[in-house]
Amino acid sequence: MKKWSKLVAVFLASLMLAFQFLDLSVAAYTQEDLNKINARISALRSEMNAFEEEASALAEKADSIENQIAILQNQQASLRTQIKLKQAEYDQIVAEIATTQQRIDDNSETIGYVIAQYYYNKDVSTLERIASSENFSSFIDEEVRLSNFSDTISEIIKENENLKEELTQKKKNAESILVDLKNQKEQLASSEAEQASILAETRSDEAAYRQKKSDAASQKAELEEQQQAILADLAKRYSASNVSAGSSAKGGYPYSGYCPQRKDAFADQWGMYICECVSYAAWKVYSTYGYMPYWGGRGNANQWLANARGTYTISSEPKVGSVGISNAGAWGHAVWVEAVSGDRVYISQYNYRNAATNYMAGEYSEQWINKGAYTYIYFK
């Protein structure tokens, strides 16, 4: 943050210095004023690029954080479901334990009763049992029953032993489930804590990202306003006239349907953003001559002369089918030469706000202007 605080301070100081120059009225601009403004805007542009790079890095970080949180939230949802399932399994086993214990208790009570009956009847003499019986048949049944007491007790005891083993296993299962529940709850708590930590650690970065994106957009808008003011001044200096919205075909530019709003702005095949002056000029070169060099995304108009030098002819004299370049402003300006009449040049262009385009950025227009406003690149 210290680095960015320093950078913001330098930027604000630079911006204030730039405004000292911009306080001059448009009509009072001299070439020296323009050179100073160009130098200052170039510095501002570098600083704005630094802001945008940092904003992009923060945007990527924010996307990564959102993905991390989404993964954590999915894990948390899965863990909550597993916890509910384990709790249900535990509750089921607890209920089974209670049922088994009740069966053991009932069997124990039965064993006591059977033993009591056995010893009570055993102490009674055979003669007394015969006398107390209704008939000899009932006596025989009672004797059989007494003789079976031992087997009955053995069966009940065996069942209880099995039930106790089952009970022991169920308790072990319950204890295991409790351990799983504890681990899953701890894992859930850890995941939630991790999410909270990520959010806490990145909250300031997110705010910085949003602010820097906003600052970058504001700075870009200010530079565009400066650019347009300088273009308007150039138009006055070089006697621009008859500015119009131009042909309905808008120069044949294939991206005209996206202009002027540029809501879906993207770069063309030469790395230049659509609806900008350079993208239009590149298209005119390509559509006229069948080629347009790719300059590695170095697409600002004030870079074109350096890009073209050594490969294409650069001249102060316009000719039809050449590209006019002005280095004024933060990015410069590129136009297409439609016609030449003495010192007057008829040009078509994008992204020059004027009355004919309802002062909308990224729109098409045509006008006459003195040839001295531009330096010309011959692509053929």
Per residue in 83-105, pLDDT (tens digit) is: 787 787 777 877 787 888 888 78
| Dihedrals phi, psi of 299, to nearest 5 degrees | -105, 0
Computed over every residue of the chain, the mean pLDDT equals: 74
C-alpha to C-alpha distance for 273 and 41, rounded to whole angstroms = 20
Position 9 confidence tier, pLDDT thresholds 50, 70, 90: very low
For the chain, give every domain's residue range: 1-225, 238-380
The percentage of residues in the chain with a pLDDT greater than 70, rounded to a whole number, is 63
Residue 313: the pLDDT is: 97
For the beta sheet containing 313-315, the strands, ordered from the edge strand earlier in sequence to the opposite edge, are: 241-244, 364-370, 344-350, 333-341, 323-326, 375-378, 313-315
Asked if domains 1-225 and 238-380 share a fold, the reply is no
Instruction: Give yes or no for residue 45 having a pLDDT over 50.
Output: yes
- Residue 120 or 337, more confident: 337
pLDDT at 224 over 50: yes
The whole-number pLDDT of residue 83 equals: 76
User: Which residue's structure tokens are 């048949």?
Assistant: 137
Top CATH class, 238-380: alpha beta
325 neighbors 374 (Cβ within 8 angstroms): yes
Q: Which of 93-102, 266-275, 305-314 has the lowest mean pLDDT?
A: 93-102
Q: What would the CATH number be for the domain defined by 1-225?
A: 1.10.287
Q: 345: which residues sit within 8 A by CB, 6+ positions away?
A: 318, 324, 337, 339, 368, 369, 370, 371, 373, 374
d(CA 116, CA 109): 11
